[in-house]
Structure 1
């Protein structure tokens, strides 16, 4: 599984380097890419990698508009729907562990319209 995560991260990085830079809206690919370094912690606990906190910070900084925040919320909601309760519990600790404020909780039932 770890090898697959590395392959996905490398593939996403390659795609991002060949795409033209623009001011397009936030996408679920952006959200997943920013949170990719958090997967190890979310799945098994332990220490939160600094790259996870950097990714979470990038996500918060990228979600400046209401539409971007709703997109990020819906992406996180979709990811949360596939997570176990233990994974949700660990994911919920990330903002505090990274000392980053996010405008919503990561839950499978969050109302992203607000």
Structure 2
């Protein structure tokens, strides 16, 4: 499953690589979070650090929408269990970060401002 997620992320990186915050950047910053999403527990410090960096880089609505689309596509392209999705949804709060979107396939990225 991990290799499938990585493959999806790499494809998305090529597809969304033109935004101010590229999908490459989003993938690189969130890659340390894969173990937490798949296994639960506590996210590693490198995951929370990457999430903070990504959040600080996506300052404009178009940047936030682009990052949201990248994350949404990555989540939508992989078969997750409900536990995996719940872990992804809990990730920002576990890291103490408030994001204007959820890590969910149902998120409407166009509504993010």
TM superposition score category, shorter chain reference: 0.7 to 0.9
Q: Which has the larger radius of gyration?
A: 1
Cα distance between partner residues in 2 of 1:91 and 1:106: 6
Total equivalences in the alignment: 95
Cα distance between partner residues in 1 of 2:108 and 2:59: 18
Unaligned runs of 5+ in 2: 7-18
* The 10-residue stretch of structure 1 (29-38 or 75-84) with the greater mean CA deviation from structure 2: 75-84
Higher relative contact order (CA 8 A, sep 6+): 2
Cα deviation code 1:3-23 (max 9, x no counterpart): x7xxx8xxxxxxxxxxxxxxx
Contact 2:88 2:104 in 1 (8 A): no
Cα-Cα RMSD: 1.8
Cα deviation code 1:46-85 (max 9, x no counterpart): 2210111000001100101111001001011101112412
Cα distance between partner residues in 1 of 2:45 and 2:79: 22
Name which of 20, 45, 50 aligns with 1:50: 45
What's the TM-score, normalizing by structure 2?
A: 0.76
What's the TM-score, normalizing by structure 1?
A: 0.76
- State yes or no: 1:69 paired with 2:64: yes
Cα distance between partner residues in 2 of 1:102 and 1:87: 19
- State yes or no: 1:109 paired with 2:112: no
Aligned to 1:36: 31
Name which of 86, 91, 94 aligns with 1:94: 91
Unaligned runs of 5+ in 1: 9-23
